[in-house]
Amino acid sequence: MTNDDFAEIAGVVRRRSGIVLTGDKAYLLETRLGPVLAKFGLASLGALGQRLKQRPDDVLERAVVEALTTHESSFFRDGKPFEHLARILPKLVSARAPGAALRIWSAACSTGQEPFSIAMLIADTLGPRPECRVEILATDISAEILTRARQGVFTQFEVQRGLPIRSLVKHFKQEGAKWRVSPELAAMVRFEERNLLNDLSAIGKFDAIFCRNVLIYFDAPTKTRVLDALSRRLMPEGVLYLGGAETVLGLTDRLVPVSGERGAYGISTQRAAA
């Protein structure tokens, strides 16, 4: 693969997903694109680079992006955002207009551990019959990963990462060597394919947004663009949760840290009306 071929492949990934692949990530292409080469009858990464250069091919480009997204996730990842959400849930519920649903968005949900953690937290905090409707929207750019997430089935290794044993027993059923989320939990989460770079206004506003461990893959202008778009999807009192290595500082003035809560952000009062 020449530098030009690498630049071609990385350019497609960046344009379609925002993910930046620097030269030191060439090994990722080597390790992950083998199945794509086989599927499309391409002999090498060089041949892939040439094909992408010759003509636009939506199906091929999509497959390249799918192969190069990273789906690492775990239940109740980092703990703190979920503890904070549990603490503010009663306030968010009582702030609802009569008849309005409580809406929470997992904006790069990967294999589903994040939205199902939110569903467990809500079921455990508000009880089986909450006083308002609850909607959890879980979205990701990867159609393949969403197919997996929708199944709500996790391996023993996955449930051992972050899921307390009492939550496993309460909310999952064992099926052979795997664990399936309960129908009640599954019914709380709706999965949709969405690209964070696209117009998101159709999905409405949310009381809480989890957009965790995806901005790290973007460059600064893309982070700013996505953060501004997310701020427009937040209710005035809503909270945005980012990953441990992510921040809004230096990227946007539409969002400000929630005092004393690492990784939690609210809409800046100066920008709330904008």
Ligand X SMILES: C[S@@+](CC[C@H](N)C(=O)[O-])C[C@H]1O[C@@H](n2cnc3c(N)ncnc32)[C@H](O)[C@@H]1O
Query: Is residue 85 part of the contact set for ligand X (CB under 6 A)?
Result: no
Query: From CA 181, how far away is CA 154, in angstroms rounded?
Result: 8
Q: Is 252 in the site for ligand X (CB under 6 A)?
A: no
Does 147 participate in binding ligand X (rule CB under 6 A)? no
Which residues, numbered 165-194, are part of the site for ligand X (CB under 6 A)? Answer: none
Please say which residue, 69 or 252, places its beta carbon nearer to ligand X. Answer: 69
Q: Scanning residues 208 to 237, which ones bind ligand X (CB under 6 A)?
A: 212-214
Q: Which stretch binds ligand X (CB under 6 A): 13-21, 39-47, 53-61, 95-103?
A: 13-21
User: Which listed residue (10, 12, 19, 121) binds ligand X by CB under 6 A?
Assistant: 19
* CB closer to ligand X, 50 vs 247: 247
The vertex-16 CA angle with 54 and 19, nearest 5°, equals 115
What sign has the CA pseudo-torsion 150, 152, 157, 158?
positive
The minimum distance between CB 47 and ligand X, in angstroms, equals 25
What 58-64 contacts at long range (C-beta under 8 Å, 24+ apart), as own/partner pairs, is: 60/36, 61/12, 61/16, 62/16, 62/143, 63/36, 63/39, 64/9, 64/12, 64/13, 64/33, 64/36
| Distance in Å, CB of 132 to ligand X, minimum | 25
Which is closer to ligand X, CB of 74 or CB of 268?
Answer: 74
Structure tokens at 19: 């993910």
Phi, psi of 14 (to 5 degrees): -65, -45
- 22 vs 259, beta carbon nearer ligand X: 22
Helix ranges (DSSP H) in the chain: 3-17, 26-32, 34-39, 45-54, 58-68, 80-94, 113-126, 143-151, 156-159, 165-171, 183-188, 220-232
Site residues (CB under 6 A) for ligand X, limited to 104-143: 108, 110, 114, 140-142
32 catalytic? Reply is yes
What residues line the site for ligand X (CB under 6 A)? 17-19, 69-73, 77, 108, 110, 114, 140-142, 145, 195-197, 212-214, 243
